[in-house]
Structure 1
Amino acid sequence: MDPWPYWQLVLRTPRLELRPDDDAGLLELAEEALAGIHPPERMPFGVEWTDAPRDRLAINTLQHYWSVRATQSPERWTVNFLARLDGRVIGVQTLHADSFAVTKEVGTGSWIGLRHQGRGIGTEMRAAVLMFAFDHLGALAARSSAFADNPASLGVSRKLGYRADGTFVQVRRGEAATQTRLLVTRDGFARPDWELAVTGVTPCLEMLTGC
């Protein structure tokens, strides 16, 4: 038995390859973070991790993903798929769940380097993990959220069939900011016109679905 079956898992879209994070890929991801993810005057993330000093940003990035990888269990898991374009890591697409065997719900989050934005890659990444969750894990719904001043993320959600599911307020850089909760069901998912290729899923099912 492979002690870490996630490394066999691969999702392929027309342009991208998504694999759970490994150390070599995380080094490339840290480089992408250093190259910039968003304009400095904006903060699209609920956790303000990109405000870290430049000399700490790379090590903080590695430590975060290592810590997530170390706490996987069927009851609570997070898979950070490194997204590669032309063989290079350009960002990360997260899929996570708590008590998935009972709730059949997942959540998503993502980022890609600023230099790769505006090309529909964020939509392609999210569509990939939604198809994986709905078609291979048996998920019934997926949740996300975005700040009201993040039209790019909200636009991705609209394209894929999410609907607004309330709001909440959190402190962002010392000020109140509103996030919109978003929900898409398996039946409401606006599928793209391409097929997702998935390999290596069977060894991962016990960890992801509890079965």
Structure 2
Amino acid sequence: MAPDPSTAPSTDTPHPNLPGTGAPTRAELWPPSGLRVVSGDLELRHLDEDLLFQLAALGGEGIHDEDFMPFTFPWSRGSAVEVGRRILAYQWGAASRITPESWAIELAVVRGGEVLGVQSLTASDFPVTRTAESGSWLGRRHQGRGVGTLARLMVLDLLFEGFGARTATTSAWADNGPSIAVTRKIGYRPNGTATLAREGKPAGDVRFRLDREDWDARAEALPPEVTLHGVGPVREMLGLD
């Protein structure tokens, strides 16, 4: 039986959540969703649900040798499902705790629509300290191809040029040669060492810092062009404007 036109809902009444009806956009509701850093064919992009599940699957394929642990907490050990679930849980938690006082911005490293890894910035009281820590990991099959260096340069461009940082910090275990090599290549300076627990044993943690003056002096190490998208709303969310 055909519906009675007099009782059918009107198609002329706009839905409050449809575009063009005055409802906030996704980027207005959650500014990091519009954040992108682009250099050539490489992008750093907000971890939307599709990219996040790709990242979880990538992590489950393997990130490092079984006899080496590059992270403070051994979240990367276990089955593909266990590792993937830890990645999802961490990323969901990090995304829910972004405030001017404390934040972690996690960006997928993407090339040709494929997720290669993740690049992060974390900070506490950034409007005062203007200091943030960078961190990253790549899927094992994407390592050793220069992606890590370029992605680090891109996220540092976001940090210094986009967010107005004064200092970037990072650290790595003393036996993590590839990570330390990238850090030194970019121009970080040594910033002390510490002894931390790694899987129940003491291990040396080597720390580095990159000040704005050093970043400006390292212009020749930058990619040919880095383009930032969606930075303004994120700056406002982080209390920088």
- Larger Cα-atom Rg: 2
Equivalents in 2 of 1:15, 1:168: separation in Å? 38
Secondary structure in 2 matching 1:155: helix
Instruction: Kindly indicate whether residue 197 of structure 2 is the aligned counterpart of residue 167 of structure 1.
Output: no
In the alignment, residue 136 of structure 1 is paired with which amino acid?
A: G
The 1:55/1:16 distance shift into structure 2, 3 A limit, reads same
TM-score normalized with structure 1 length? 0.96
Q: Is the 8 A contact 2:36 2:44 kept in 1?
A: yes
Contact preservation (8 Å) 2:31, 2:237? no
Aligned counterparts, 1:34-183, within 5 A:
34-183=60-209
- 1:130 is paired with a residue whose SS is helix
Instruction: Report SS of the residue matched to 1:188.
Output: helix
| Equivalent-residue separation in structure 1 for 2:136 and 2:59 (angstroms) | 12
Deviates more, 1:155-164 or 1:199-208: 199-208
After the TM superposition, which parts of structure 1 deviate over 4 Å for at least 4 consecutive aligned residues?
Answer: none
Structure 1: stretches of 5+ with no match in the other structure: none
- Give the superposed CA RMSD: 1.2
* Aligned match of 2:236: 206
Q: Structure 1 146/193 Cα, relative in aligned 2: closer, same or farther at 3 Å?
A: same
The whole-number CA distance in structure 2 between the counterparts of 1:135 and 1:210 is: 13
Provide TM-score, normalisation by structure 2.
Answer: 0.84
Listed as ranges, the gaps of 5+ residues in structure 2 are 1-23
CA contact (8 A) 2:126 2:132 kept: yes
Q: 2:225 aligns with which of 188, 192, 195?
A: 195
**Alignment-derived partner of residue 18 in structure 2:** none
* 1-10 or 101-110, larger mean C-alpha shift: 1-10
- AA aligned to 2:183 is S
Note the C-alpha offset of 1:53: 3.9
Distance in 2 (alpha carbons) for counterparts of 1:84 and 1:122: 12
Take 1:124 and 1:47, find their aligned partners in 2: how far apart are those partners? 26
The one-character-per-residue Cα deviations of 1:33-71 (angstroms, maximum 9, x if unpaired) are 011110111111112111234432111110110011111
Among the aligned pairs, what percent are the same residue?
37
Q: Distance in 2 between matches of 1:143 and 1:180?
A: 11
Given that 2:195 and 2:205 are in contact with CA atoms closer than 8 Å, whether structure 1 keeps it comes out as yes
Write the letter of the residue equivalent to 1:195. E
Relative CO higher for 1 or 2, CA cutoff 8 Å, sep ≥ 6? 1
User: Conserved in 2, the CA contact under 8 Å of 1:74 and 1:206?
Assistant: no
